[in-house]
A and B are shown apart, each in its own frame.
Chain A
Amino acid sequence: MSIRDEVIAQMQRVAKQQSKRLAPLTDETPLLETGLDSLCLAILVASLDDELGLDPLSSETNTHFPSTVGEFIAVYEAAAADADV
């Protein structure tokens, strides 16, 4: 499964767990308009850490939180690429 597919799958799983209605997702969809609230996003980041072994967003050096779905996926794709190097 690609990083993109894993992120989308986890978004769907968290939405179901927290009984949220997930909006149609495109790269341009703002994260806070996906239907996921801040708790969901926190659970999502934790789930991706479990599934991918990647935690690019909670590091102290990362002060910018992505604002769209596309940016969010890109952060994880970049972290995966760094991990492969």
Chain B
Amino acid sequence: MIFVSEPLAKHHPEVQLRPTTFQGCFAQLHVPVSGTVSDAVVVMCPGIGRDGSTGHRPLRFLADQLALAGYRTLRFNYRGTGDSCDGDATLAAWQQNVHDAIDAALALDGARRVVLAGLRLGATLAAMVAAEQDAVAALILIEPVVRGRSFATQLRMEERLATKSEADAEGAVRVHGLQLPPEELAHIALLDLLTVDSDANRQILVLTTQHSEPMRQAQSAWQRQGAKVTQLVDESALAFLRPTHLADEPFPNLCPVVGWLSETCPARPLPVPEPVPRHRFDLAGPGWRETARMFGPAGNLFGMLCEPAVGLCNRILIFGNTGGDPHEGFARFGVELARHLARHGIASLRMDFAGLGDSIDASYDANAVTHTFMIDRRADFAAAIDLAESLGFRSIALHGLCSGAYHALQSAAADARVAALLCVNLPLFTIRYEKAGPASFARRSMETLSARGVRCGFIFADGDGGLVSLEQNFGSSGKDLAAYAGIECAIMPDIDHDLTRPEMRRRVADRIADFLAAVPTPTALADRPNFRGDTAKVPDARLHRNLATEGAL
């Protein structure tokens, strides 16, 4: 069953973004605002692990371009990735998710055919599923993993070369939020596109950065089966592979991909259908429930509101992107943190800054570039705080990791509505050149925050690069911060900058939950001017409400 939201906002001047769920998977449906749509729906199969992050922004852009051409496009997260519910990290589970996505696409009004577009291992999964699905009219394979062995090799090497590794007792490979037991890695290593059948007459586009012998062999095998294979060797494919912090590069020219689809799978036009009403909550799991939100003056910002499954809370933690990673965070830390906090009775909003993840620049300029540090994010945080206040939250805390911490600090210093700030691995206090001293931004911001009674916490990994800036401004290990009331600093020896390993993320999430629990909050929900629900008989913040009565999934 698929639940599609009402259109939340214009995502592109001519495209609407409709958050969608099916079988525990979260998805975004890109639909043109007006005109007609094709009976063929594109289902995007993202990459797995790091490829899922690097491909997020260009796939979002490609989805907009396809929607503009009349192809409704469904971008989804596999279970256990992105905003989806948790799930097994297995090839079988991921293939099932693709099947479910196809079912969801075919459930849309007028949908008769599906085009599968996949990136890296997602492309390989798409080809495998297409071999079992008659409804798949065409395949778009972007830098596909041809041999699973080399992909498994890459995952093993990444784990091996990662810093501060603690070997998993079961021998699992744990990278990018994945936990792959040895037997599952062995399954991946056995993948070989050469052995994946293709229906005769199926149209296949392969977009790669270079010619390779394994890809040539796979194409030959499909052509012998009658498939019509087009290879596009183009540097635009690089955009799907580049590190996410290079978000200041213009979007690639993907017109050839859209043009190929228009020629090989021409639209059979239908009127743009009305959306189906959705359930109130998009997703729910043990102790949490989540709703997608688009907000901001132009409705261009995306965030996922995560709340405790039962009960209401009046405190919320708002956090933005780390570098250029989408809102789920590096190795999915943003999702893990949000659901962990919900189980501790704390709500959160994980948002994308304008131009990153699922938020676009307010100018709707698809070619607008963004930058990790250089763009002022205070307006984005202010819009998120507006949203939180409109929902009735009264105790608002900001948080960030690395560059996200930098922007959280700037916003907390500027916005008197912020009650608490927690920065993890803050790389620097200001990007402007200035000497340390009483007039520095670092000192002035601490004075401002302390005077306002904002509770502040700074957490650093032992040896983190941000300790240099900390020491320059506040002495060794930030000892001078003790002079400011309400401000504390901790250096944790067992984490690294990116919180690479699961145990590191758990330690920091616990630390954040403890920190927030100690932040004073308003005592009576009845004081909340915009509180959702009947507050007349609510004695305190421990009100409980039965989720089932609200039709949660």
Contacts and interface: CB of A to CB of B under 8 A. Distances in A.
Interface of A: 13, 16-19, 38-39, 41-43, 45-47, 49-51, 55, 57-58, 65
B144 to A, nearest CB: 11
Most-contacted residue by chain B among A18, A39, A42, A47 (CB, 10 A): A42
A46 B209 contact: no
Contacts of A13: 209-210
B246 interface: yes
B146 interface: yes
Contacts of A39: 50, 158, 243
B154 interface: yes
B246 A43 contact: no
Given A49-B150, A58-B153, A42 B242 contact: no
A38 B242 contact: no
A38 B243 contact: no
Contact of A51 (B50, B213, B243): B213
B344 interface: no
Contacts of B158: 38-39, 42
B161 interface: yes
Nearest to B235: A16
Interface in B211-258: 212-214, 238, 241-243, 246
Contact of A18 (B153, B161, B162, B242): B242
Contacts of B154: 42-43, 45-46
Main secondary structure of the interface of A (DSSP, over half): helix
Contacts of B146: 50
Contacts of B246: 19
22 contacts: A13-B210, A17-B209, A17-B241, A19-B242, A19-B246, A39-B50, A39-B158, A41-B157, A41-B161, A42-B153, A42-B158, A42-B161, A45-B157, A46-B150, A46-B154, A49-B147, A49-B153, A50-B150, A50-B213, A50-B214, A55-B149, A58-B160
Contacts, number: 59
B212 A51 contact: yes
A19 to B, nearest CB: 6
Contacts of B238: 16-17
Interface size class of B (residues with CB under 8 A): 20 to 34
A57 B151 CA distance: 14
- Among A16, A39, A47, the one with the most B-chain Cβ atoms within 10 Å of its Cβ is A39
Among B151, B153, B158, B238: residue with most chain A CB under 10 A: B153
B156 interface: yes
Contacts of A50: 146-147, 150, 212-214
A41 B159 CA distance: 11
B157 A57 contact: yes
Interface string B38-82: 000000000000100000000000000000000000000000000
A46 B151 contact: yes
B190 to A, nearest CB: 14
A55 B243 contact: no
Contacts of B162: 38
Which among B147, B243, B246 has the highest number of chain A CB atoms within 10 Å?
Answer: B243
A9 B162 CA distance: 24
Contacts of B155: 42
Contacts of B212: 50-51
B156 A58 contact: yes
B160 A65 contact: yes
Given A57-B157, A65-B160, 20 more contacts: A16-B238, A17-B242, A18-B243, A19-B242, A38-B158, A38-B161, A39-B158, A39-B243, A41-B161, A42-B154, A42-B158, A42-B161, A45-B157, A46-B150, A46-B151, A46-B153, A46-B157, A50-B150, A50-B212, A50-B214
A45 B213 CA distance: 16
A85 to B, nearest CB: 21
Nearest to A14: B241
A12 to B, nearest CB: 11
Contacts of A38: 158, 161-162
Interface string B134-150: 00000000000011011
Contact of A19 (B147, B160, B213, B243): B243
Interface string B240-279: 0111001000000000000000000000000000000000
Contacts of A51: 212-213
B274 to A, nearest CB: 43
Nearest to A48: B150
A47 B209 contact: no
B242 A45 contact: no
A46 B159 CA distance: 13
B127 to A, nearest CB: 17
A57 B238 CA distance: 26
Nearest to B54: A18
Contacts of B157: 41-42, 45-46, 57-58
Interface in B71-113: none
Interface in B294-345: none
6 pairs of A and B residues whose beta carbons are closest in the complex: A46-B154, A38-B161, A42-B157, A49-B150, A46-B150, A42-B158
A55 B242 contact: no
A20 to B, nearest CB: 9
A51 B149 CA distance: 12
Contacts of A49: 147, 149-150, 153
A45 B153 contact: yes
A46 B156 CA distance: 10
